[in-house]
Amino acid sequence: MQPITTSGAPRPAGHYVQGLAHGGLVFVAGQLPLDPASGALVGPDDIVAQTEQTLANVAAILTAGGSDLSRVVSLTIYVTAREQWAAVNETCARIFGAHRPARTVIPVPALREGCLIEMQAIGAL
């Protein structure tokens, strides 16, 4: 297993790595809508801005591991309200384009304070 670390995504806040490459895959740890440089929440109360930042963080880790968003095979999305789903789906469609990874969306009661979304991904090398 090869740990993946990049300054293009927020530093881990606990005992985990941003990602791991193993067996032809890149496993991206759950990412929040945080600015990588400052650690500040991006887009309070704005699900589109938070989705964009979260995907940018996922993309940075994938790239550091030798993959990219076009090679995502699985995406797990956690949202704090079902009403956010349409905006999240539209934002993902815009960013992923024609590529459609397998995807799971899980509504949760809460994430880190102010965060409306979290994503975990698996990309192919």
Q: Are 30 and 118 in contact (CB under 8 A)?
A: yes
Q: Which of 117, 44, 38 is nearest to 84 (CA)?
A: 117
Q: For 87-115, how does the pLDDT look when each residue is reduced to its tens digit (9 = 90+)?
A: 999 999 999 999 999 999 999 999 999 99
The pLDDT confidence band at residue 61, using thresholds 50, 70 and 90, is: very high
Distance CA 26, CA 34 (A): 21
Distance CA 111, CA 125 (A): 30
- Please give the mean pLDDT across all residues of the chain: 97
Give the predicted TM-score (pTM) of the model: 0.98
Question: Count of domains in the chain?
Answer: 1
* Alpha-carbon distances of 40 from 15, 50, 90, 96, 106, rounded to whole Å: 20, 11, 24, 25, 24
The mean per-residue pLDDT over the stretch 14-40 comes to 98
Please give the pLDDT value at position 78.
98
Q: For 17-26, how does the pLDDT look when each residue is reduced to its tens digit (9 = 90+)?
A: 999 999 999 9
Task: Identify the CATH number of the domain in which residue 83 sits.
Answer: 3.30.1330.40
**Domain residues for 92?**
2-124
Place of tokens 């790595």: 17
